[in-house]
Amino acid sequence: MKQSRLFAPTLKEAPSDAVIVSHQLLLRAGFIKQVAAGIYTYLPLGKKVIDNIETIVRAEHTAIDCSELLMPALQPKELWDQSGRWDVYGGELMRLKDRHQRDFALGPTHEEVITTVVKDYLNSYKKLPLSVYQIQTKFRDEARPRFGLMRGREFIMKDAYSFHEDAASLDVEYDKFVQAYHNIFTRCGLDFRMVEADNGQMGGSGSAEFMALAEVGEDTIVYSTDGDFASNIEVHDLAVGEPAPVGNGTIQHAKGIELGHVFKLGTKYSESFGVTFLDVDQKKQALMMGCYGIGISRIMMAIVEQKNDEFGIIWPKNLAPFDVHVVPICTKTPEIIDHALDIYASLQQAGYDVLLDDRPERAGVKFKDSDLMGIPLRIVVGKSIADGSVQIANRQTGEKLEVKVEDLKEALSEIYANLK
């Protein structure tokens, strides 16, 4: 991609509405743009990051044999009446009417829909277990949207649902999701913790949350110094310094951003929707269910909150919008831009996703924008090209290295391999 053609409006100053660093940087670096309170457009750079997150999420779900589908955002009231949640969900459910004055909701979650979708198919124990997921825009009419992508009224979520003949099967699947979630958040480069969580209005028999550690987090994690215990403070309201209920540690507190939540739902939804199957003894039984969510757009925000410095964002390589930023400077010299174009083409051929800053800007402007965007590797093509060398700059470590053009690919692949 040539930067002169990329829609990436960077700002020197953060819009005054943004108060936390991730919100400010995502706005300044041109990743998102606000449309209304809690509603954002993902600009091209932001969209690329979202896509990268989704790629990881998809791969880890495929790995546990969970298949992807896509359900409607628009859901009729009747479904929500069946679960009883039309009345209990409250003001957060975004409600609307069609032209015939029939009631609909924009889905904040999809237990009602998925239960209806699988109902006819899952009539035998032979078809169990089954798990499916989708990645979709969710709607919640938050009383107070805030902090950019942290608490939006419209956001991208991955939600998965599993169906089982008994609790033992649910336990097995639940553990697979827990492992998949560990893999996902690790691959995203997040500093996170799994904690015991409240079941909330979802009901069910067990749940855990995955929290990104961050001071701006809205949740409080209580954990023990020996690592044997971690919980949302909603479940165990323990004070700092108390002995932990498990193990020998003492309690500490930390702030976290909830990125994922796994639930054992039990039979709550299958009972209200009358979803039953015949077991091996030809007895009719209610399905056991699990559900598993990840805030895709929230991951982008959480990463920026964790990975930044005074100059801008520092993307982990798996999420970065581009792998390499080729930055020619002194562009008055025509051979420099020619060399940069050659390097750009050859790195693309080598499989890197490359952004070429072909704009007629001065060096300082290009460096500032590059730092702000946070692409992990930068190749500066300048005067030193006269003796055949360019500079590789590592955004993550700050290291800079002069290399001959003929050695560039090799040097780059070594540095790339060591990126986080």
Partner RNA sequence: CGGGAUAUGGCGCAGCUUGGUAGCGCGCUUGGAUGGGGUCCAAGAGGUCGCAGGUUCAAAUCCUGUUAUCCCGACCA
What's the token pair of residue 110?
């999809």
Return the number of the residue (244 or 258) whose C-beta is nearest RNA: 258
Least gap, CB of 250 to RNA (angstroms): 25
Taking the complex as a whole, how short is the minimal distance between the CB of residue 91 and RNA, in angstroms? 7
Tokens read off for 254: 């930390």
- Of 45 and 393, the one with the shorter C-beta distance to RNA is 393
Minimum separation from the CB atom of position 125 to RNA (A): 25
Exposure string of 317-345, with b = 16+ CB inside 10 Å and e = fewer, is bbbbbbbbbbbbbebeeeebbebbbebbe
* Cβ proximity to RNA, 75 vs 224, nearer residue: 75
Whole-angstrom Cα Rg for the chain: 25
CB of 325 to RNA, least distance (A): 11
Whole-number Å distance between alpha carbons of 137 and 156: 4
Taking the CA of residue 125 as centre, how many other CA atoms within 13 Å lie in the half-sphere pointing to its CB? 11
**Binding site residues, RNA, CB under 7 A:** 10-17, 19, 34, 36-38, 90, 92, 109-111, 140, 142-147, 151, 157, 159, 200-202, 218, 258, 261, 291, 293, 311, 329-332, 360, 362-365, 367-369, 371-372, 380-385, 391, 393
Whole-number Å distance between alpha carbons of 211 and 182? 11
Of 234 and 279, which has the nearer Cβ to RNA? Answer: 234
> Which C-beta is closer to RNA: that of 48 or that of 298?
298
- Spatial separation of the C-alpha atoms in residues 395 and 390, rounded to whole Å: 16
Q: Concatenated DSSP letters for 296-310?
A: HHHHHHHHHHHSEET
CB of 364 vs RNA, minimal distance in Å: 3
**Cβ distance to RNA smaller for residue 85 or 187:** 85
Give the helix/strand (H/E) hosting 26.
Answer: helix 21-28
Least distance between RNA and beta carbon 226 (Å):
28
